[in-house]
Homo-oligomer: A and B are copies of this chain.
Amino acid sequence: MFVALAGGIGAARYLRGLVRVVAPSDITVIANVGDDIELHGLHVSPDIDTVVYTLAGVVHPEQGWGRRDETFHIAEELARVGEPTWFRLGDRDLATHIVRTARLRAGATLSEVTAELVTAFGLELRILPATDDPVATRIATADGRELHFQEYWVREHGAPPVVGVRLDGADAARPAPGLIDAILGAEAVLICPSNPVVSIGTILAVPGIVDALTETGAPVVGVSPIVGGAVVRGMADRLLPAVGAAVSAAGVAAMYRTWLDGWVIDRRDLDAAGEIEAMGIAVAVTDTVMDTIETSEAVARTALALAGRIRGPGWVADPLDPSGGTGPTPGEAKRRARAVA
């Protein structure tokens, strides 16, 4: 099994390549739900939907989220009756939120609803929300406000200077059922090229997930969301400084260093390789801008190859116990391997 920690667009483009390399039924996606928001009484899970729509081939091809062939008649009507419409939901997209909300109101968990939607869209992979418990990414702005992530990003166009980010509800949140076991039992854990603060960071904020990434015997290999020292898309350039991280391939790797084993970086960031390797993290270099499905597949192949390389000699076996059988757990072996690297 392969496990992938995923945000929205960047993750979806990576995963559309991954499903061409490994069997979709062997993939578990752990999805960010910090962006989730209730709008017009409906539960919207933007990152899950972006992954589902992309893999189902129904995503809006240019914008990378929402539905292709979309209409906005409901948004027009909501405006007519005075509803706030800064988060302009498309008609087809709304069907997903209507069904999700109906299921949640009827007592289903977000995991269960997500599994139903994945099946309904004809997909064979598994998508687990980072948590079934209510969480929300909150953005502290320089002018003293705290906004929901979507208020900051969509309503205010990411304009307010950011001084902090937190996942509200994280303290009481439990990883979705099966999530920790998926990480611990994975063949490889992949970190999608998603925002390290508000996509991957909010997954990591759910208690137990960082521990599992640290403990797992699987190599943990990420794809850098930074290209040429800048973000491919999104708001990482505004959010990384707010959490004290550098906007660079090495800066993001440093955020993950306690559990990251391999890092796929773009050719334009080649000069960061030495700094990353000095953290004990293996590096692979490729073109990481996934503007075609072929490049998506190539990036996935590179990440899996790096995982295989890490998993190779000196990895699973305990260097202190060549017999293997009675040695440390894979996680312990991994940490020792890191320590001796």
Q: A-side interface residues toward B, CB under 8 Å? A: 40-42, 70-71, 73-74, 76-78, 80-83, 91-92, 94-96, 98-99, 101-103, 105-106, 116-117, 120-121
For the complex, give the distance between the alpha carbons of A42 and B103 in Å. Answer: 12
**13 A-B pairs whose Cβ atoms sit less than 8 Å apart in the complex:** A40-B102, A41-B101, A41-B103, A42-B102, A71-B91, A73-B91, A77-B95, A78-B95, A78-B99, A81-B99, A81-B116, A82-B120, A91-B91
**Nearest chain B residue, comparing its CB with the CB of A89:** B98
On whether A94 and B120 interact (CB within 8 A), knowing A41-B105, A102-B40, A102-B41, the answer reads no
**What are the residues of chain B within 8 A of A98 when measuring CB–CB?**
40-42, 74, 78, 94, 98
The reply to whether B99 and A73 contact each other, CB–CB distance below 8 Å, is no
**Nearest chain B residue, comparing its CB with the CB of A72:** B91
Can you add 16 more A-B contacts, CB < 8 Å, to A74-B95, A81-B120?
A: A40-B98, A40-B102, A41-B98, A41-B103, A41-B106, A42-B98, A42-B102, A70-B73, A71-B73, A73-B92, A76-B95, A80-B95, A81-B96, A81-B99, A81-B121, A83-B99
The reply to whether A120 and B80 contact each other, CB–CB distance below 8 Å, is yes
**What are the residues of chain B within 8 A of A40 when measuring CB–CB?**
98-99, 102
The reply to whether B74 and A94 contact each other, CB–CB distance below 8 Å, is yes
For the complex, give the distance between the alpha carbons of A96 and B73 in Å. Answer: 12
For the complex, give the distance between the alpha carbons of A68 and B82 in Å. Answer: 20
Q: How close is A105's CB to chain B, nearest CB, in angstroms?
A: 5
For the complex, give the distance between the alpha carbons of A78 and B99 in Å. Answer: 8
The reply to whether B81 and A95 contact each other, CB–CB distance below 8 Å, is yes
Closest 7 CB pairs of A and B: A41-B102, A77-B95, A81-B120, A73-B91, A74-B95, A91-B91, A77-B92
From B81, B91, B117, give the contact of A81 (CB < 8 A).
B117
Q: How close is A272's CB to chain B, nearest CB, in angstroms?
A: 44
Interface centre among A80, A103, A116, by most B CB within 10 Å?
A80
**Nearest chain B residue, comparing its CB with the CB of A93:** B77
For the complex, give the distance between the alpha carbons of A304 and B198 in Å. Answer: 64
The reply to whether A91 and B106 contact each other, CB–CB distance below 8 Å, is no
**What are the residues of chain B within 8 A of A78 when measuring CB–CB?**
95, 98-99
**What are the residues of chain B within 8 A of A70 when measuring CB–CB?**
73
Q: How close is A32's CB to chain B, nearest CB, in angstroms?
A: 22
**Nearest chain B residue, comparing its CB with the CB of A83:** B99
For the complex, give the distance between the alpha carbons of A101 and B42 in Å. Answer: 10
Q: How close is A61's CB to chain B, nearest CB, in angstroms?
A: 18
Q: How close is A219's CB to chain B, nearest CB, in angstroms?
A: 36
For the complex, give the distance between the alpha carbons of A74 and B73 in Å. Answer: 10
For the complex, give the distance between the alpha carbons of A71 and B77 in Å. Answer: 12
For the complex, give the distance between the alpha carbons of A77 and B98 in Å. Answer: 10
**Nearest chain B residue, comparing its CB with the CB of A106:** B41
For the complex, give the distance between the alpha carbons of A92 and B71 in Å. Answer: 11
**Nearest chain B residue, comparing its CB with the CB of A39:** B102
**What are the residues of chain B within 8 A of A99 when measuring CB–CB?**
40, 78, 81, 83
